[in-house]
Amino acid sequence: MRYAILLFPALLLAACASSRLPAKRGSERPMAGPEYNENVPEATPRETVVLVADGLLKEGDSLFGQNKYDEARRKYEKAAEAAGNENNEQVLVEALAQVARMYSVEGKFDEGRPWLARAEEHADSEEPLGWSRFLGVQGRYFWRDEKDNDKAKTTFIKMYEYCKEKKLFSRQLDAAHMVAIVAPPDEQVEWALNSIDAAEKAGEKGWLAVLWNNLGWTYEEQGEYPKMLEALQNARKYHYEVGNDLSKLVADFGVGRAWWRNKDFKQARNWIEQSFEQAQQYHADQPDNTEFTEWVGWGNIYLADLLVDENQPEEALKRYKAGRPLIVEAGIEDWWPEGLKEVDDKIAKLESADD
In a domain, 154, yes or no: yes
In a domain, 246, yes or no: no
Check if the beta carbon of residue 291 is closer than 8 Å to that of residue 250. Answer: no
In a domain, 147, yes or no: yes
> Which among 38-47, 174-183, 197-206, 299-308 has the top mean pLDDT?
299-308
For the segment 130-134, the average pLDDT, to the nearest whole number, is 97
pLDDT at 7 over 50: no
Residue 192 backbone phi and psi in degrees, to 5: -65, -45
The amino acid at residue 72 is: A
**Count of the separate structural domains present in the chain:** 1
Q: How confident is the model at residue 185 (pLDDT cuts 50, 70, 90)?
A: confident
Rounded-to-integer distance, Cα 209 and Cα 217, Å: 13
Q: Summarize pLDDT for 49-95 with one digit per residue, the tens.
A: 446 999 999 999 999 988 789 999 999 999 999 999 999 999 999 99
Q: What is the residue-averaged pLDDT of the chain?
A: 86
In a domain, 73, yes or no: yes
Domain span at 150: 42-167
For the segment 315-333, the average pLDDT, to the nearest whole number, is 95
pLDDT at 244 over 70: yes
pLDDT, residue 186, reads 84
pLDDT, residue 354, reads 73
In a domain, 204, yes or no: no
pLDDT at 279 over 90: yes
In a domain, 242, yes or no: no
pLDDT at 39 over 60: no
In a domain, 146, yes or no: yes
CATH of the domain at 145: 1.25.40.10
Dihedral angle computed from the Cα positions of residues 283, 287, 292 and 296, in that order, rounded to the nearest 10 degrees:
60
pLDDT, residue 21, reads 34
pTM: 0.76
For the segment 23-34, the average pLDDT, to the nearest whole number, is 45
Q: How confident is the model at residue 28 (pLDDT cuts 50, 70, 90)?
A: low
In a domain, 70, yes or no: yes
pLDDT at 45 over 90: no
Residue 23 backbone phi and psi in degrees, to 5: -75, 0
